[in-house]
Amino acid sequence: MAVPSARFASIDGGYIEMSDWAGQPVLVVNTASQCGFVDQYEGLQTLYDRYRAAGLVVLVVPSDDFNQELDSGAEVKEFCEMVFGLDMPMTDITSVKGRNAHPFYARVRDETGFVPRWNFNKVLVGADGRVIETWGARTPPLDPRVVQAIEQALTGS
């Protein structure tokens, strides 16, 4: 079963509708600005730069579920832009686990059993809306397994 289209509050105000990316693969990553894995932002931006013209979307989902995020979306946005030069779509601070998990993450959990156990967990959703693969925080964005899965999702093979 496919993960349903999800609506996230945008860090820029308004909403991000995953349905706007129907037919495109989306890498959804829960993040935190004060996490030891924060340098993964560089790899995420590299993936986005490398594959966005081919259709990849990288959706950054700041979360304070592990008590490592800044106090407000505005602070997160400023940090990410100033320190890492991020220009990927980004949600406002969002819960990714437990009973307050965003519906996207609740559905991923229900469909696949995957629950983020830390920051910088990755969920690759295919063009058909199905979860292709998930990776934990220790798997960097440019890991060959991640890159291969993205390339396959982009080519449909």
Q: Give the three-class secondary structure for 21.
A: helix
Q: Write the single-letter amino acid at 36.
A: G
35 is catalytic: yes
Q: What's the burial of 19, exposed, middle or buried (CB within 10 Å: 0-12/13-18/19+)?
A: exposed
Rounded to whole angstroms, what are the CA distances from 136 to 30, 61, 97, 110, 140? 10, 15, 14, 17, 9
- Cα 15 to the center of its chain, rounded Å: 15
Catalytic residue among 32, 35, 59, 124: 35
d(CA 116, CA 29): 9
Q: Which residues are catalytic?
A: 35
